[in-house]
Amino acid sequence: PITPGELLCLGSSLAFSGLFYYLYRKKARVMARIQEAPKLQVDDDLPAVVSAAGERCLPYVALEGIVLPAKAALTSHYHEGLQGVIQKLLLKEHRLIWNSLIRSW
């Protein structure tokens, strides 16, 4: 005989397994799209490629080219001869939605 507590544990275990499998498959699809991303060179033709794309946006692209630092390149303390730069990230909110529950945009 199976008790109600065992059924509850079995049901919640199946629900969590299904949820985690769904999240895994979703991330796997995103990773596949990133790995299949076209590789573009940073050159004078890049603005024309971006403007020709739909909505002037390329969803997943690997850019290859030489990057110049704005001030000075960062040098590694642990690996001699290894240098890097910091990428500036710009987050743009496209649309604001009023949330009446917390009375905020």
Distances (CA, A) of 52 to 46, 64, 92: 10, 19, 21
Q: What is the pLDDT of residues 8-55, one digit of tens each?
A: 999 999 999 999 999 999 999 999 988 888 888 888 888 888 888 888
pLDDT confidence of residue 64: 84
Query: What phi and psi, each to the nearest 5 degrees, are found at residue 18?
Result: -65, -40
- Report the pLDDT value the prediction gives residue 93, as an integer from 0 to 100: 64
pLDDT digits (tens, 9 = 90+) for 93-105: 666 777 788 877 7
Cα Rg of the chain (Å, integer): 24
pLDDT band at 90 (very low <50, low <70, confident <90, very high): low
